[in-house]
Structure 1
Amino acid sequence: MAAKDHSNIAILKEIAELLNEETEMIPMLNGALSKFLSGTKFETGWIFFIDKKGKSELVVQQNLPEALAYNSCEHLKRGGCWCISRYRNEELKKASNIIECQRIESAIEANVGDHEDITHHATVPLQSGQERFGLLNVASKNTIRFTDEELNLLESVAFQMGSAIKRIYLTNEQQEIALVQERNRLARDLHDSVNQLLFSVTLTARAGIEMSDQQETKETFKEIQQLTQEALTEMRALIWQLRPKGLESGLIEAIKVYAEMLGLKLTVNVAGVIQFPSRVEETLFRITQEALNNIRRHAGVTDAALYINVTATDVLLVVKDEGRGFVVDAHNTIPSMGIQSIKDRAHAIGGSVDWVSEIGKGTELLIRLPY
């Protein structure tokens, strides 16, 4: 028994060292689960993250049998599950044996591969203090119940994982705060230096128009004034992108103010209650900014329409204009850096982007984001 206890301590020490060293969430969890499985009688495992609305996401899996791994873990990702149901109801407090798992059963019944005698699993919540993140599930061949000792070890590993998840979340939050502070500093610098210089050039050009008697000179100053005014508008838009003033008054109000600053007449239609996590709200704002910038620069119109449809699980954002449009080729090649930026922002939080455009008939941009 003493040798076995020593072995368990060694496993926990190795896992603790890995969790402390890693800074990326998924590699950290993959590494910790791999070490746990290689040093114990548990043979396979998977981790669900579960958000505050109860939506589960399979984020890590190790050594799954063919039946569970089939079609990108299709059967683990869908259907009912006792452990997730108990987790959502806050009834799962510690490591427990699962008497039956509908997801495993559905994979076996589908006959999509060898299940390697994996029929049951143990589960434990991942949490740090009162903050919960998801579930760690583990299983072994021909095992219906795990011993109290095995469950205690599982619970210790889950505690370590929960603390590490919390640490990474806190680190990411600190990085986000630092990024916002740097954006604000850069926005202030641009406003106080370049923005003011451009404004001064505009005033100088206006004075040159009034003071000059030669028409050719007047036209030159007018062109300088026009170009400087355009540069000033671009600079203000850039400052807005760095520091989105107005979000404190709500997403829709911020979008309207930004459109007005660009000289666009924006019609807004909203269906559903707009109440998003801060990251989703800022992503929606940034995407809309880029879409409105594209309309101002390329569409040749000053009217645009914005549609937001909010459901229980996602939000659909549509930005539409009736301007010049562009050709979408058969390979769906991205026509501008603006749309590439929109795709990158949407994909960063698991969203999707599509667009419909035709020369002379305008463009419709469709963005769907989960939240």
Structure 2
Amino acid sequence: MQSNEHSNIGLLKEIAELLNEETEMTPMLQGALRKFLAGTQFETGWIFFINKKGKHQLIVHENLPNALEHDSCRYLQKGGCWCVSKFRNGELKKATNMIECQRIESAIDAKIEDHGGITHHATVPLQSGQERFGLLNVASPHTVAFTDDELALLESVAFQMGSAIKRIVLTKQEQEMALVQERNRLARDLHDSVNQLLFSVTLTARGGSVMAEQTEVKETFREIQHLTQEALTEMRALIWQLRPKGLETGLVEGIKGYAEMLGLTLKVNVTGVINLPSRIEETLFRIAQEGLNNVRKHAGVQEAELFITVTPTDMLLVLKDEGCGFQMDTNVRIPSIGLQSMKDRAQAAGGSVDWVSEIEKGTELLIRLPY
């Protein structure tokens, strides 16, 4: 018994060191889960994150039997179960043996692949203080219930994981705040220096075109004025991208304000109530910005239409123009940096970006983000 306690203390120490060293969420949890399973009688495990709406997401898993790993862990990803339900209701406070698990039962009943003797699992909430993040589930073949000592060890590692998750969440928040501050500083510098300089050049060129007597000189000044005005518009768009105005009054107002700044007429249609997390709101705004930039630069029109549809789980944004459109070979990499940027932003938020375009028939940009 004493030897086993020493072994557990050593294991918890190793896990604590791993959790403290990692700076990224998924590798940290994957490594800790792998080390925990290797040092205990538990053989398989998985971690769910559960948001405030109760929606669960499979974050990491280790040593799953084929039945549970089948089709990208479909049986773990979908449906309901006792542990998630109790977590949502705030009734799951400590490590607990599961009497039954609908996810495992569904995978077994499907008779698609071997379940490896896994029929039940234990569960424990991942939390730090009053803040809850999700669940750690573990199981072993032909095991219906685990001992009190095993459950106590499971609680200890869950406490460590919860503290580490909180640390990374706070670190990410600090990094995002620092990034916003740096964007604001850069936007102020651009506005106070380059933007003002371009404005001065525009005024000088306008004055030169009025004062000049020779036609060629007048045309030169007018061309300088035109080019400088274009550069000024580009600079203002860049400043908006760094420090968006209007988002404090909502996503729609922010997008409409950006379109107006570009000289575009934007018709907006909204279905549902918009109440989004700030991270999702900014992602949608950034993608919409890039879409509006493309309309201004490439579509050859000054009008566009925006459709926003809000569902209980997803946000759908469609930006449509009746411009010249484009044609792209689906077998080659996305040629536009702007299009690739939109796709990367959406994927980083767990969503998707697609577009439908045809020569002389306009373009539709379709953005879907979960929240």
Q: TM-score range by the shorter chain?
A: over 0.9
Residue 46 in structure 1 maps to residue 42 in structure 2 = no
1:126-165 residue pairs with structure 2 within 5 A? Answer: 126-165=126-165
Question: Counterparts of 1:247 and 1:293 in 2: how far apart (Å)?
Answer: 18
The answer for the alignment partner of 2:229 in structure 1 is 229
Question: Counterparts of 1:69 and 1:256 in 2: how far apart (Å)?
Answer: 45
Secondary structure at the residue paired with 2:301? coil
Deviation per CA, 1:51-95, whole angstroms, max 9, x where unpaired? Answer: 110111111100111111111111111122110011111110100
Secondary structure at the residue paired with 1:158? helix
The answer for the alignment partner of 1:28 in structure 2 is 28
Deviation per CA, 1:165-185, whole angstroms, max 9, x where unpaired? Answer: 000000000000000011111
How far apart are residue 333 of structure 1 and its match? 4.8
- The alignment covers a number of residue pairs equal to 371
How far apart are residue 332 of structure 1 and its match? 6.8
Q: Percent identity?
A: 75
Secondary structure at the residue paired with 2:276? coil
How far apart are residue 249 of structure 1 and its match? 1.3
Secondary structure at the residue paired with 1:42? coil
Question: Counterparts of 1:333 and 1:182 in 2: how far apart (Å)?
Answer: 32
Secondary structure at the residue paired with 2:75? helix
Question: Counterparts of 1:38 and 1:117 in 2: how far apart (Å)?
Answer: 18
Q: Aligned partner of 1:71: which letter?
A: D
1:109-128 residue pairs with structure 2 within 5 A? Answer: 109-128=109-128
The answer for the alignment partner of 2:369 in structure 1 is 369
Secondary structure at the residue paired with 1:30? helix
Could you tell me which runs of 5 or more consecutive residues in structure 2 were left unpaired when the two chains were aligned.
none
Residue 70 in structure 1 maps to residue 70 in structure 2 = yes
Q: Aligned partner of 2:260: which letter?
A: E
The answer for the alignment partner of 2:7 in structure 1 is 7
1:208-223 residue pairs with structure 2 within 5 A? Answer: 208-223=208-223
Question: Counterparts of 1:15 and 1:82 in 2: how far apart (Å)?
Answer: 28
RMSD: 0.9
Could you tell me which runs of 5 or more consecutive residues in structure 1 were left unpaired when the two chains were aligned.
none
Given that 2:26 and 2:59 are in contact with CA atoms closer than 8 Å, whether structure 1 keeps it comes out as: yes
How far apart are residue 338 of structure 1 and its match? 1.3
1:325-336 residue pairs with structure 2 within 5 A? Answer: 325-331=325-331, 333-336=333-336
Question: Counterparts of 2:208 and 2:285 in 1: how far apart (Å)?
Answer: 39
The answer for the alignment partner of 2:171 in structure 1 is 171
Question: Counterparts of 2:104 and 2:128 in 1: how far apart (Å)?
Answer: 28
How far apart are residue 335 of structure 1 and its match? 4.3
> Given the superposition, is the C-alpha separation of residues 103 and 180 from structure 1 closer, same or farther in structure 2, using an over 3 Å criterion?
same
How far apart are residue 331 of structure 1 and its match? 2.6
Deviation per CA, 1:220-257, whole angstroms, max 9, x where unpaired? Answer: 00000000000000000000000011111111111111
Higher alpha-carbon deviation: 106-115 or 174-183? 106-115
Secondary structure at the residue paired with 2:133? strand
Using structure 1 for the length normalisation, give the TM-score. Answer: 0.99
Residue 253 in structure 1 maps to residue 250 in structure 2 = no
Q: Aligned partner of 2:286: which letter?
A: R
How far apart are residue 334 of structure 1 and its match? 2.6
Deviation per CA, 1:185-215, whole angstroms, max 9, x where unpaired? Answer: 1111111111111011001101111111111
How far apart are residue 26 of structure 1 and its match? 0.5
Given that 2:245 and 2:257 are in contact with CA atoms closer than 8 Å, whether structure 1 keeps it comes out as: no
Given that 2:45 and 2:64 are in contact with CA atoms closer than 8 Å, whether structure 1 keeps it comes out as: yes
Residue 270 in structure 1 maps to residue 248 in structure 2 = no
How far apart are residue 328 of structure 1 and its match? 3.1
The answer for the alignment partner of 1:16 in structure 2 is 16
> Given the superposition, is the C-alpha separation of residues 326 and 333 from structure 1 closer, same or farther in structure 2, using an over 3 Å criterion?
farther
Secondary structure at the residue paired with 2:183? helix
The answer for the alignment partner of 1:183 in structure 2 is 183
Secondary structure at the residue paired with 2:113? coil
Secondary structure at the residue paired with 1:308? strand
1:350-365 residue pairs with structure 2 within 5 A? Answer: 350-365=350-365
Secondary structure at the residue paired with 1:356? strand
Question: Counterparts of 1:361 and 1:84 in 2: how far apart (Å)?
Answer: 48
Given that 2:19 and 2:164 are in contact with CA atoms closer than 8 Å, whether structure 1 keeps it comes out as: yes
Q: Aligned partner of 1:32: which letter?
A: A
Q: Aligned partner of 1:288: which letter?
A: A
Q: Aligned partner of 1:184: which letter?
A: N
